[in-house]
Amino acid sequence: MRVISYKYIREFIRVHPDSSVALRSWYHKLDRNMPAGLHELKRVFPGVDYAGNNRYIFNIKGNKYRLVALLIFGTQLAYIRYIGTHADYDKINCKEI
């Protein structure tokens, strides 16, 4: 699956350097797999949750951070919509970002 855009990961790592290994691992795992749906995605990311409206929530670094991505399985594209702390994540509506 092609991840759009790695820039968001770089910017987040700059502010939260402790997230570097976990975010790079997330990126490479998704980039190397072509899941056809949530069932296959859960094999790679067991803790992933579906939020609705094609948004998927990933726990990063032991749930310290959250990443929300819009996944389009048909075209194998993943758009990063949000990366933040778990506390900041609680303040957003995943379905609308």
| pLDDT tens digits for range 13-49 | 999 999 999 999 999 999 999 999 999 999 999 999 9
Indicate if the pLDDT at residue 97 is higher than 90. no
* Residues 29, 51: Cα–Cα separation, whole Å: 20
* Residues 71, 76: Cα–Cα separation, whole Å: 7
Give the pLDDT band (50/70/90) at residue 96.
confident
* Residues 70, 81: Cα–Cα separation, whole Å: 7
The H-or-E segment that residue 20 falls in is helix 20-32
Domain of 19, CATH number, reads: 3.30.2310
Structurally, how many domains does the chain consist of?
Answer: 1
Domain housing 83: 2-96
pLDDT one-digit tens code per residue, 37-91: 999 999 999 999 999 999 999 999 999 999 999 999 999 999 999 999 988 988 8
